[in-house]
Chains A and B, each alone.
Chain A
Amino acid sequence: MTNPKGRFGVHGGQYIPETLMNAVIELEEAYDHYKNDPEFNRELNELFCEYAGRPSRLYFAEKMTKDLGGAKIYLKREDLNHTGSHKINNVLGQALLAKKMGKTRLIAETGAGQHGVATATAAALMDMECVVFMGEEDTVRQALNVYRMRLLGATVVPVKTGTATLKDAVSEAMREWTSRIADTHYCLGSVMGPHPFPTIVRDFQAVISQEIKAQLMEREGKLPDAVIACVGGGSNSMGSFYHFIENKDVRLIGCEAAGRGIDTFETAATVNTGKVGIFHGMKSYFCQDQYGQIAPVYSISAGLDYPGVGPEHAWLHDIGRAEYVPVTDEEAVCAFEYLSRMEGIIPAIESAHAVSHAMKLAPTMKPEQIIVITISGRGDKDCAAIARYRGEDIHE
């Protein structure tokens, strides 16, 4: 589905400084080699199974199903992975690839801290140096994850420029990469940025949909009617959708962070409110003003607080294969609380956006229909912020 220049329809591409071009070409060549290398795949599979705890469970949420009174709901439990989110899938793949390429240092951006923690973890495991760029505002919102990264041996650099959130962390990581390329791999955390990142990250995350398919076939003997996942840059959703793209009867639904609503300026719902642009190495949809200045986006979820979306999502939207729906802060917080009480599962606030949409959709569907929601991460990191949202001040 990717043409040679990394295009998804009109989206994708390699809009980066000349300084980085040979680095991404080297990465593409290495990836093209290792993705078909049995030894690489054996090592990665072993890391997935023995270290990350794959396959993750596909859990039938029986109470939730009864309570909502419609479609059967399954939860794909990426929150049960080592480090507590889907991010580890991509990071183990990229760290192993970087190691094979002779790199000794990983740099990464992080929003909520999940990708940073995963990268710091892989760096510790593989004896690599690690530097994580994190928006200063996010270091406050996600102080616990900052500590986890430091504990794992990573250096966390608070980024003060711009809105001091995820987009600025990406910009700063890109700047760092242009200044130190020879020994450094930029371990990008989502299906975004210049080619080949959207493809590499998607391939490493595609294990999610591969497992869902096999697990559901075993449990139910059929495919789901809908797969629902949250979308920031879009890696857990791309991973959840990928092997279902060919199954046209499976609805693919991405849930964007609407923040305080898509009719306000305090939103991060890129597909719903943005337009096509060129930024962070890719052509895709971006929240921006009429002169192309990138908009300061907002969401309660640091992990979805990004003004763009991966180019393959932009393309799935253009061709009508996937739907992208906005979910507000309030709806996500309600879903966060709902899943905690209903199933005893505290989802990441990012994943709660997907849960919220499923709560709306399930009652409109028939009992023999099936929804799979990807729970991309665990919600421990969000408890303090959600408590604050509800007017309660707790100390972590």
Chain B
Amino acid sequence: MSKIASAFDHGKAFIPFITCGDPDLATTEQAVLAAVENGADLIELGIPFSDPTAEGPVIQEANLRALTLNGGVTTDEIFELVRRLRRKVEIPLVFMTYANVVFSYGAERFISTCRDVEIDGLILPDIPYEEKEEFQPLCSKYGVDLISFIAPTSENRIGRIAREAEGFLYVVSSLGVTGVRSEIRTDIAAMARLVRQNTDIPFAVGFGISTPEQARDMSRAADGVIVGSAIIRILEEHGKDAPEYVGAYVKKMKEAIL
């Protein structure tokens, strides 16, 4: 079993998403540490991409800031950041980025470096089940979990995806792109039952979750809750001073889902 499973050993998991390099890597490092101290169970580290087609405006802007401010961050600098973080951070860390970032680096070079710096998984929203073969063999070779998605439109695909899933399953809460939503109407409990019929691995719900109440609601049916845009907004608002606010937010959210 992968290390990612351990993130779900302490009650429901809270999974924050942070775009690396927004506004700079030093802030990212401090924000990750603050999240860990305040109860984050797993962290999604975003490697920025110029054209993030699955993201709403908040994370699009974060990608743009990360790629332009102070000359912009690179994949190599982000690997170095993870090396530094690993001296202090033991919880599972996964990368969230787009296929071209991995492909252009050289898939084997990228995924073997993930293993070297102790990245536990890879989330690629533009790699659906049909295209897993692009990276799955290398992920298996280097012990990096390739995370699978389930969406409200997945329906007849859920069984197939869930049976082959590894690490955890990323359940997309609603149609559309990432971003804060006032209301989530999808029947998560029904999706959860279908997932459970097909796999024992944990599943976490993401997209649109920002308030403790929403997180608590989602965690009733799910093993974990993923929050991206709400955290990026804190970074956008507070810039270099954001880490303490990120810490406070993570604490509040983790308490809400316990």
A residues sitting closer than 8 Å to B (CB atoms) are 5, 13-23, 161-162, 167-168, 171, 174-175, 178-181, 275-281, 286, 288, 290-294
Contact = CB atoms under 8 A, between A and B. Distances in A.
B244 to A, nearest CB: 30
Nearest to A292: B104
B16 to A, nearest CB: 21
- A interface: dominant SS: mixed
Size category, B interface: 35 or more
Nearest to B101: A292
B69 interface: no
Contact of A18 (B105, B129, B176): B129
Interface string B127-168: 111110010000000000000111111111100010000000
Contacts of B134: 13, 278
A291 B105 contact: yes
A107 B75 CA distance: 34
Contacts of B67: 293
A280 B53 contact: yes
Those 5 A-B pairs whose CB atoms lie nearest each other, nearest first: A292-B104, A179-B176, A19-B151, A18-B149, A278-B99
B100 A279 contact: yes
Nearest to B127: A15
A167 B51 contact: yes
Contacts of B99: 15, 278
A19 B154 CA distance: 7
Contact of A175 (B53, B101, B105): B53
B185 to A, nearest CB: 13
B172 interface: yes
Contacts of B150: 18
18 contacts: A13-B131, A14-B128, A16-B126, A17-B53, A18-B148, A18-B172, A19-B152, A22-B153, A162-B50, A162-B64, A167-B51, A168-B51, A178-B54, A277-B100, A288-B100, A291-B75, A292-B100, A292-B104
A278 B39 CA distance: 36
A293 B161 CA distance: 29
Contacts of A290: 104
A179 B175 contact: yes
B60 to A, nearest CB: 6
A293 B50 contact: yes
Interface string B94-132: 000011111111000000000000000000011111110
B125 to A, nearest CB: 5
Contact of B74 (A13, A279, A288, A291): A291
